[in-house]
């Protein structure tokens, strides 16, 4: 359920395409690079490239996955380095760790792009890395994914990501805190609906509820905030980033920005000033990508988080769900279509779950809208009420949502949950120890309607994923 991290994570681990997210604020940095590369192809902004820092990466130092011709994979890092201008965000700290880590997969073969988020709190089997400059290196061990960069720099993080995923990484792009703040200011801020007041001293953030335009400093706090919003988990923060970046992406790609050369230049300058790339990611390579991107529909961008659940040894850490995670990685590595495969046993289990055993009049249900379709919870609630259920309330999630529509239930209420699930075309059932006698129907992006009615505009949402997935649901505060 979206108000409890442990339930939400296990629910989110059931299907390959379970959780949709922009994944991190540096997705905008990737978008900016796409725009920048298009412009450099015409020589208009060649001088901006000179502002980008470069780092040498010896990719011959380890056995690498095979590269698939045509597709491009870029590792994108939102860096939490806290030296220099970045030290004000949490104090000066030695070392550097990815605050956000993604793989951007650009595929002209499929006329689109996919951004895969690798949660920084993931506990994984890390390969050994040799010492690198002033970095001590590390022995093979089990640890947090984002620690590799602190032990062995970009080169170690690159090796870890490749060996864990089997995906050949072509280049990396890293953006720091200051760069993100300047990006937001360069486009005149981003309008957001803040559903509830936020007071998070750790993120330097204090906001009133309501619709407002966030400047760069506020936007950075909003993107980094964990403990002042939701359940304090990194996965919950990823969902909030999704909403913000959707708004920012739409503004960047709007006529307001793209029709103004000075606005484009200011935006790109703010990006390049705070970007580091590998030394092989040259202007010529960016130009090659620009040429390939002409074949890509920029509205066909899909945002996926690696299937995951709470780590069995620490509920505050993330474990990747198998075989779903490997299925996702293989699809990216081989540049094939991502599918949401379910085994015969899973299909049979779902059929067994859809058997009502309780009179609807005895079932109290709360309906939560985890989609971008405004008013969907109210509509579904009215229909369930018409079918004899007691609707305890409707609303929007206060944190992340599972990738599949789920009915959560408390102790002793399993039959009540199955009764609700039997009314839904696609739904799974999951226990949550935090719920009482009211079950909770969380509508996710796979929503296909209730049985016995047309699903209408909300049908098969996953078939039309694009940047609209980042639109925020309506909220009473706005």
| All domains of the chain in start order, with CATH | 17-334 (3.40.630.190), 346-460 (3.30.70.2390)
Chain centre to alpha carbon of residue 168: 21
Q: What is the pLDDT of residue 367?
A: 93
- CA distances for 161 relative to 24, 170, 278, angstroms: 17, 12, 15
- CA distances for 135 relative to 159, 176, 276, angstroms: 15, 19, 18
What stretch of H or E contains 275? strand 275-278
What residues form DSSP beta bridges with 176? 79
Cβ atoms within 10 Å, residue 357: 10
Which residue in this structure is represented by tokens 């399993």? 414
Q: Which two tokens stand for residue 48?
A: 């901006």
CA distance 370 to 2: 9
CA distance 364 to 435: 12
Of the ranges 26-30, 169-173, 330-334, 449-453, which one carries the lowest mean pLDDT score?
26-30
Q: Is the dihedral of CA 243, 244, 250, 255 positive or negative?
A: positive
Residue 39 — pLDDT band, cuts 50, 70, 90?
very low
Q: What is the pLDDT of residue 120?
A: 86
CA distance 377 to 383: 10
Of the ranges 229-238, 255-264, 336-345, 463-472, which one carries the lowest mean pLDDT score?
463-472
Q: What is the pLDDT of residue 233?
A: 66
Residue 123, pLDDT above cutoff 90: yes
Residue 255 has what DSSP assignment? Answer: H
Q: What is the pTM of this model?
A: 0.63
Residue 167 — pLDDT band, cuts 50, 70, 90?
very high
Q: What is the mean pLDDT of residues 74-83?
A: 71
Q: What is the pLDDT of residue 279?
A: 92
Q: What is the mean pLDDT of residues 27-49?
A: 49
pLDDT tens for 264-285 read 666 677 667 778 889 998 877 7
Residue 258 — pLDDT band, cuts 50, 70, 90?
low
Q: What is the pLDDT of residue 231?
A: 59
Report the side by side order of strands in the sheet with 390-395: 390-395, 364-369, 438-443, 406-409, 428-431
């Amino acid at each position: 359920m979206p108000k409890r991290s442990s339930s939400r994570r296990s629910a989110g681990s059931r299907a390959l395409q379970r959780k949709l997210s922009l994944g991190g604020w540096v997705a905008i940095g990737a978008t900016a690079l796409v725009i920048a590369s298009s412009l450099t192809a015409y020589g208009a902004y060649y001088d901006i490239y000179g502002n980008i820092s470069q780092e040498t990466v010896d990719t011959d130092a380890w056995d690498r996955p095979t590269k698939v011709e045509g597709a491009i994979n870029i590792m994108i890092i939102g860096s939490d380095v806290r030296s220099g201008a970045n030290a004000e965000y949490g104090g000066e700290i030695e070392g550097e760790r990815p605050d956000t880590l993604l793989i951007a997969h650009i595929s002209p073969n499929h006329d689109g792009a996919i951004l895969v988020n690798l949660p920084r709190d993931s506990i994984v089997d890390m390969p050994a890395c040799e010492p690198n400059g002033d970095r001590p290196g590390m022995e093979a061990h089990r640890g947090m994914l984002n620690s590799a960069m602190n032990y062995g720099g970009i080169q170690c993080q690159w090796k870890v990501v490749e060996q864990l995923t089997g995906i050949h990484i072509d280049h990396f792009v890293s953006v720091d805190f200051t760069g993100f703040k300047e990006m937001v200011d360069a486009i005149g801020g981003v309008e957001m609906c803040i559903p509830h007041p936020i007071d998070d001293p750790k993120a330097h953030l204090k906001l009133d509820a309501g619709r407002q335009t966030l400047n760069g400093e506020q936007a950075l706090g909003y993107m980094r905030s964990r403990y002042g919003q939701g359940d304090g988990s990194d996965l919950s923060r990823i969902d909030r980033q999704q909403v913000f970046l959707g708004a920012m992406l739409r503004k960047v790609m709007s006529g307001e920005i793209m029709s103004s050369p000075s606005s484009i230049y200011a935006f790109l300058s703010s990006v390049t000033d705070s970007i580091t790339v590998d030394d092989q990611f040259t202007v010529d390579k960016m130009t090659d990508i620009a040429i390939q991107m002409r074949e890509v529909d920029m509205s066909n961008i899909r945002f996926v988080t690696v299937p995951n659940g709470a780590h069995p040894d620490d509920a505050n850490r993330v474990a990747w769900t198998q075989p779903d995670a490997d299925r996702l990685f293989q699809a990216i590595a081989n540049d094939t279509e991502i599918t949401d495969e379910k085994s015969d046993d899973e299909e049979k289990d779902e059929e067994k779950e859809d058997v009502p055993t309780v009179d609807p009049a005895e079932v109290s249900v709360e309906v939560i809208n985890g989609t971008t379709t405004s008013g969907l919870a109210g509509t579904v609630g009215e229909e369930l009420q018409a079918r004899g259920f007691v609707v305890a309330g409707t609303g929007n999630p206060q944190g992340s949502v599972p990738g599949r529509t789920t009915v959560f239930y408390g102790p002793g209420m399993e039959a009540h949950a199955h009764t609700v699930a039997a009314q839904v075309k696609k739904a799974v059932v999951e226990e949550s120890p935090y719920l009482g006698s009211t079950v909770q129907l969380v509508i996710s992006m796979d929503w296909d309607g209730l049985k016995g009615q047309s699903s209408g505009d909300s049908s098969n949402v996953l078939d039309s994923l694009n940047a609209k997935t980042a639109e925020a649901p309506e909220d009473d505060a706005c």
